[in-house]
Amino acid sequence: MSKTIFKNVQILDSTGTQPYLGEVLVENERITEVSPGVGKINDPNALVIDGRGQTLMSGLTDAHTHFTWDNRPFDQLGNTPVEEHLLSTIDSAKTYLDYGYTMCFGAASAKARLDVVVRDAINAGRIPGPRYRANGMEIATTAGDLVDSITQTADGVEDMRKVVRATIGLGVDNIKMSISGEEVTGTRSAEDTYITEEELQVAVDEAHRRGVKVCTHARSRDSVYLSLKTGVDVIYHASYIDEQGMDMLEAAKDRVFVAPAINWLVATLEDAGQFGYSHEAAEQAGYAKELDVAVKGVQEMHRRGIRVLPGGDYGFAWTPHGTYARDLAHFVNLFGYTEMEAIIAATSLGGELFGQADELGKVQPGYYADMILVDGNPLEDITILQDIKKITAVMKNGEFHRRPHENMIIPKEAHEPAMATV
């Protein structure tokens, strides 16, 4: 049995309790004991970490992940040959874990099998990466695709049933329905909707029959209605949700999750210029207006207690891999979340999103030991979670992906009882 004890850590357990000084015992892949105070947990066979007062918290969640986006401009996502694409997909998986993300919810794969192959390699211990729910290629109706080269099309109920079944046959955990537009395409408005209720319903029914979750690219008002009417599990964006949609969402809040992926809107306005999409072009396309209504929408969701998760659309040229925790700052600065609420959304709600609320996303006995050590207090400054140098250790499933610095590891003789008074 492998054992690790964290001593002298500020435990941020994701229950809403303020951080407290304490100790945590990890046995094999799970947390087995969490104790406030000092000197309560001892075991001569354990690896003992002196946390030096750093924060020990759950690993983070990204609710809208694309391992296969390889930092290219939007319209070139499908251009990478499969061999290089597999390598970049492996790199993204590792990058998420490097930055303390232990739960990622796949939101579409640029090629059919890249997500499932990489998920399986992670689970087999061949490559490092977070817990991952793999997706297939986006599914859209004819001329409803956002990027043709990464999308499969289906029209009508029986065609849709067939495409969804084939995608599920690849071994995916999630399917992605692209049902509204996106302004950067220049041809598909974010306020337009490209699917019928019957087409979306058959996709949801086929997926749920096989235990597969459904997520939607749903920016338009009507795409939110359709997602809620048909039983979609995770709604992405929901920018143009109206009062009626908000009421429907509230009525379904125990079942559905929203991930706005707001950083895409922010970065498209602020950071895309260097890649040839100027601020003026973004504003003209409607991104400033969309950001404004989307932020107001999430503020209202927050008031109504809807489960909104961070994460989303990292891996484009202007939302590169490794910048994932920008989302947490947006939750605080744009949506009005407290730092504690933002962290709970990124941890505890991740456990709920994964359907494992009693074993993922908290630092409590019985939970999987997916934890990060943070040099500082993210409740005082949420942006420290963007700084990899502040994330001093990453543990997933009870094993260190990144070990704490040697000077935080207490030598064995120092924690044996006979030496305790030296």
> Quick one: 11 or 224, whose CB is closer to Zn ion?
224
User: Which one, 6 or 287, has the nearer CB to Zn ion?
Assistant: 287
Q: Among the candidate windows 115-123, 311-319, 388-396, 414-422, which touches Zn ion by CB under 5 A? A: 311-319
d(C-alpha 144, C-alpha 417), whole Å: 68
- Is 115 a binder of Zn ion (CB under 5 A)? no
User: How far is the C-alpha of 70 from the C-alpha of 84, rounded, in Å?
Assistant: 10
Candidates 160-168, 305-313, 365-373, 410-418; binding stretch for Zn ion (CB under 5 A): 305-313
107 or 369, CB closer to Zn ion?
107
Closest distance to Zn ion from the beta carbon of 251 (Å): 26
Pairing, β 47-50 against β 409-410: antiparallel
Tokens of 252: 């379904």
Residues 389 and 361 sit within 8 Å (Cβ to Cβ) = no
How remote is the C-alpha of 373 from its chain's centroid?
19
Among residues 22 and 260, whose Cβ is nearest to Zn ion?
A: 260
Considering only 100-108, 112-120, 251-259, 400-408, which stretch makes contact with Zn ion by CB under 5 A?
A: 100-108
- CA proximity to 348, closest of 23, 57, 1, 7: 57
> Which residues between 220 and 249 bind Zn ion (CB under 5 A)?
none
Pick the stretch among 52-60, 143-151, 312-320, 330-338 that binds Zn ion (CB under 5 A): 312-320
* Least distance between Zn ion and beta carbon 66 (Å): 6
Binding to Zn ion (CB under 5 A) within 203-222 occurs at none
Please count the residues of this chain forming the interface with Zn ion, following the rule CB under 5 A. 2
Locate 211 and state its tokens.
Answer: 């235990």
Q: Quick one: 74 or 354, whose CB is closer to Zn ion? A: 74
Question: Least distance in Å: CB of 296 to Zn ion?
Answer: 22
Which window, 143-151, 309-317, 386-394, 402-410, contacts Zn ion (CB under 5 A)? 309-317
d(Cα 269, Cα 82) in Å, to the nearest integer?
Answer: 31
Cβ proximity to Zn ion: between 217 and 362 the closer is: 217
CB of 248 to Zn ion, least distance (A): 23
Residue nearest to Zn ion (CB): 313
Cβ pair 9, 373 in contact under 8 A: yes
Q: Where are the alpha helices (DSSP H) in 35-81?
A: none
Q: Which residues contact 311 (CB under 8 A, 6 or more apart)?
A: 61, 62, 63, 64, 65, 104, 105, 259, 261, 324, 327, 346
| Nearest residue to 401 via CA among 120, 32, 44, 95 | 95
| 387 token code pair | 């700084």
Q: Which of 98, 206, 290, 313 binds Zn ion (CB under 5 A)?
A: 313
Among 234, 240, 237, which Cα is nearest to 255's? Answer: 234
Contacting residues toward Zn ion, per CB under 5 A: 107, 313
